[in-house]
Amino acid sequence: MGWKAAEKLIRHWKVLRGDNVMIIRGKDKGETGVVKRVVRSQNRVIVEGKNLVKKHIKAGEGHEGGIFTVEAPLHASNVQVVDPVTGRPCKVGIRYLEDGTKVRVSRGEGSSGSIIPRPEILKIRTTPRPTVAGPKDTPMDLVLKKTYDAKTGKGMPDL
């Protein structure tokens, strides 16, 4: 990617994986769906069951060939998050609650101004954290061992 293309990348994404969005342009205009994947390097999103195209795949080792129907990515400007109260597409704004938590709110013409909840799917890790220490993990007794004393300066390397 050249520097011109990098300049056009969206810096602050308003659409997240798992969001309920409405397609505002294209052949599926007016339909709603859930964002399956966000491709940030191309400013595109894949919506479940929308923007279906036929793909010709050549047979190879381990898979069969044929004509398959797949979901093609849509540009992020062609989808808008659906307002949870009104059910209409809306812009997304950021607000801070009294306790300091950052939330997304619906804004724009005909929106309710209500909080857009963070999708539950984002709370689930794609790769679970390891529960058992592996061969390259540092043992906990070495991690917790105090090797430097700030008052006496003991533990400082001689430079």
Element (H, E) at 35: strand 32-39
What distance in Å separates the CA atoms of residue 146 and residue 64, rounded to the nearest whole number?
59
pLDDT of residue 8 exceeding 90, the answer is no
What's the pTM value of the predicted model, to 2 decimals?
0.74
What are the pLDDT digits (tens) for 95-145?
Answer: 999 999 999 999 988 888 899 999 988 888 777 777 888 889 888 888 888
Averaged pLDDT of the chain: 90
pLDDT of residue 6 exceeding 70, the answer is yes
